[in-house]
Structure 1
Amino acid sequence: ENMMTAISAPREDVSKYAPKLVSMTIPTDKIRDVIGTGGKMINQIIAECNDVKVDIEDDGRCVIYHFDREMLNKAQAMIENIIRDAKVGEIYEGKVTRIEKFGAFVELFPGTDGLLHVSKISYDRVEKPEDVLKLGDIVKVVVTEIDDKGRVNVSARDLLEKPEGWDEAQKAKKEAFDKRRNSEGGERRVFKKKD
């Protein structure tokens, strides 16, 4: 009852002058990414977050200390971006960072790019990626595949509404291609090496 006369519920946060900490776990194989070459990445986090203190143990335990809750949250978000992995089915609004003949590379989050193949840009035929994309464009994409080497493939087309009759049009194109191939060369022949 005496406590209730002073304060009716716990405060949402401690005083702005009180030291605060956030604890998280980093996968051990990502510790070197957070620290960076010669401590470059961890020093950048410290500098950008008003001299936040970061302790990382060998087992991946990470504790961030600061008086300012905003700086704590910013440092935590920066570390989470470094250790983050893309997952199939996740949707991102990424920036086009490179354009090649076969497609464009889209930065999903810092340190991770996805390949947007020219065939996955739109349902309409795109001859060259630069016809519809330019460096710095923000593109909404979905992760469609991550291969065994960790390369990420994305699609913008899969997030668009499928045009009416698109499946039938694709089927007709395939049948026309198969018919043309068969008329030009007939069935595929297998040649065996003579002894």
Structure 2
Amino acid sequence: MNVNVNVNANASANASARAWAGSRAASTVIVAGGGGAYFNVDQPYPTTIQGLNVQGGMQMVRVPFTASRRIEKQVVLQAVCIDDRNVPHPASQVVPGRDVADSYDGELYRCLAGTKLQWTVSEAEGAAGETTACNKGDALWHGAGGRLECRPEKQARQCNERSLLRRYGAGVKVLTMIREETYTEYREEMVEGAASTGMIMMDGGVGGRVF
């Protein structure tokens, strides 16, 4: 009876050893008495894929550009003469009338010798506006399109400014100024997003130890 038991036990042990040796290349199988078993399956190595290009999608962007526009504006022009004590005096009108034609090219105001012309452009008579000071001996000149600037006075007889002041008085002028200005505007455009480059790692799938 003991001989049979030993033979059976040895046969089982030898069979287990052969099974373990034959399967060692891919997996390990161990069978033990008492109903237990151990399986070991080799897990594949992780795989890395590099250089993947991911294309970006379409997106809306705001693109800046430079634009220009022409502005026409009716303004009121007032002028005075400032002496060395910083006291203002009426400026002499060179031409009569309140309205200035767009095509007029010439002097609008002059000052007595020794004083400086100062003129103000505003939206209404008596309102605050943009003031410019000329040098002594300058007159206020008007050009086509409502251009205003200080220019040396034209030669005139003595007491010319006093005569003009008596003749036309110290009135205001109304004119149309035309300005060209540039500004930044934006437009919306559809552009393709930038492509990105990356990598992906695969962990090798199913594998491991099973009990």
TM-score bracket for this pair, using the shorter chain length: under 0.3
TM-score of the two chains, using structure 1 as the length reference: 0.16
Question: Which structure would you say has the larger RCO, counting Cα contacts within 8 Å and 6 or more residues apart?
Answer: 2
Q: Which has the larger radius of gyration?
A: 2
Q: Which has the higher strand share?
A: 2
